[in-house]
Amino acid sequence: MEEKVVSEIIEKVSLSNENEFLENIGKDFFENGIPTEQFLTAIKSIEDQIDKNRINQILKGYLFALLKKHKDLIISVYVELETIKEDRFLESIKTHLLYLLHFISSIEEGSYNTFKTVDEKNCPLIDWLNSQEVERSLNSNIKLLKKVQPNIHRLINQFIKTFSEGNYYKSIRLYSDLFSFSITILLMSEMYAGKILVEKKNRLQDLVRKLRALSEQDVITKIHNDLRLFKILRIQMRLKREFYISVFDIDDFKFINQVYGFKIGNLLLKEIARVFETFKSKYKILNFKTGSNSFVSLIFDKNAEETIKNIKSKIENIELEVKIEDHSVKFYPKLTVAYMKVNGSFSSPDEVLEILDIVLHRGKTEKKGSIVEYDKNRDSKMEIAKLLDKQIFLGYAIKENKIIPYFQPIFDLKNGEILGFEALFRIEKNKEIYTAGEFIDIAYKTGLIVEIDKSMIEYMLSDAERLGDHYIFLNISPQTIKEAWFLEKVKYLKNCIFEITEQMAFDNIDKLKMLNLETLNKMALDDFGSGYSSIKTVVELSSNNLISFLKIDGSLIKEIDKNKESFFIVESIVKIAKTLGLKTIAEFIENERILKIIKNLDIDYAQGFYLGKPSPIDEIKNYHT
């Protein structure tokens, strides 16, 4: 689940730089039941990818949500204790709770600099802790309590200092420890009460149960959260029970919050929780709210798949009506669902939840809105982890303008002069350069390729003078050509040749015709000769004057000196190109042998590491063959 938190933070941060918006991100993570340790671990893993000030505002929002919840809990405990009179220890506990309330209020109101801290020696609990009645009542537990008491005062002082310095990460850690110590005192008070009055014991036991129950309840939907899920999972797995676990993830929930507002988003969560609860009477099922936009069900029926389909169908029939100005808009939620059978083959709840997250990721990637089942062969944790790391890294690179172009020369084989350069994206981080090949698949799958293309086009526009009169060959994705901004930007590009694939040409023929009319730039058909290349497509593109170059697939060129079939295919491609009046470009020229062969085949242009490696613009030199 931690990877999901990381991904959500990165996605949400990109929407706005406003402090209030960033604080609300942290608040939402707390209110959606993300445990403190999991949240802090996620923050730590991305601290070098997001501006420190942005991260601090997110942490601040989480901290203030945490303080508010604990303040409400302390008030409810104090009110209950007010009904128990005439006990010295419980009076001390109430004084301690009031002290905590004033402390939290001073943080919320910004008056912490004037908050009067109490020295541990002057704490109202100290006399009681040293009394003989406590020694008799708590026995060995008194040692624990005597250790806890001074820590509370130490942590309050440390917290105020750290908070005033604006270190909200450390503040959350200090406050979490502080509240844990306070809970310990309440638990010890329960034991003490058991020694003196049954009535007091029962009341305090109820209070502790309330505290525990509230910590296992989702703030918005009021159903169990992931803390409770973890406990139930652990119990079921210890009993070696066989059951199904499924996660229902709301598609595009970020968009719903963004467009309709968090109030509507929360209303949707409540409605979905209500639907889940209706299934409890029909099926053997337990439901939990986890993360910001997902629900988990434990299903103890054999026909789990049918149950999942029914739940998904009913939720997707929820109709929400939103008023925007004078208009009413209706929308229906869509879900992607992942599920798996849990049996003795899994070692822990952590492992089950991690794998379920992997299955969900696969479902979202392959077909959003589908129902996917765990497949041992496909849902490799290692592979998915690598993909997620790449996605996070790529998102960071785009946001921080770390996408840079490298230029590989393309030579005229007749005279050795440079025709132009192919622009290839690279990622720069900490003086290291990462190649496109490491990220291109995940870029296409996630749609980030559009942002990469945009970065490359903007670079070409800003550095047009430095690139001179050479042609620049630029790969364009099918997603990008459909973007509204694309035509407007490329109108101003000079000497640019867009590299398109055959499938892209087939799917976007009208767009390409428009591109040809609106700009003076040419096009090259890339990777020709790979897979199921169609001569018919080439003829159609050529007859419409949509392409000027054929780039021969590199896998054929690499094998041309060893494989006769590759040689004959390339020879045929050259003949077709000449018949259609197209120029040919051979990629992947890796040695002198290959270079001689392609020259003999009368190929027009060539590129490859043997001729010239991709280089940044400042390092481009006059290569020659």
User: In this model, does residue 624 exceed pLDDT 50?
Assistant: no
Verdict on whether the full-model pTM lies above 0.85? no
Q: How many CB atoms lie within 10 A of CB 77?
A: 21
Does position 142 have pLDDT exceeding 60, yes or no? no
Cβ atoms 306, 315 nearer than 8 A = no
Cα angle 357, 64, 219 (rounded to 5 degrees) comes to: 50
What is the pLDDT at residue 474?
94
Q: What is the pLDDT of residue 240?
A: 84
* Average pLDDT across the chain, whole number: 80
Q: Do the beta carbons of residue 590 and residue 608 sit within 8 Å?
A: yes
Q: Tokens for 108?
A: 């919320």
Q: Over the stretch 432-471, which tens digit does the pLDDT of each residue have? A: 888 887 777 778 777 889 999 999 999 888 887 777 788 9
pLDDT: which is higher, 520 or 276: 276
**Residue 432 has what pLDDT?**
83
Write the pLDDT tens digit of every residue in 14-35. Answer: 666 678 888 888 888 887 777 7
Residue recorded with tokens 């390409």:
512
Work out the percent of the chain whose per-residue pLDDT is above 70: 80
Dump pLDDT digits (tens) for 467-526.
Answer: 778 899 999 988 888 888 888 888 888 889 999 887 677 677 788 888 877 776 789 998
Domains identified in the chain and CATH numbers? 2-215 (no CATH), 226-379 (3.30.70.270), 390-619 (3.20.20.450)
Q: Per-residue DSSP letters for 535-578?
A: HHHHHHHHHTT--SEEEEPHHHHHTTTT-HHHHHHHHHHHHHHH
Question: Could you give the CA distance from residue 534 to residue 44 in angstroms, rounded to a whole number?
Answer: 51
Tokens describing residue 40: 């802090």
Mean pLDDT across 587-604:
95
Judge contact between 104 and 71, C-beta under 8 A.
yes
The whole-number pLDDT of residue 184 equals 65
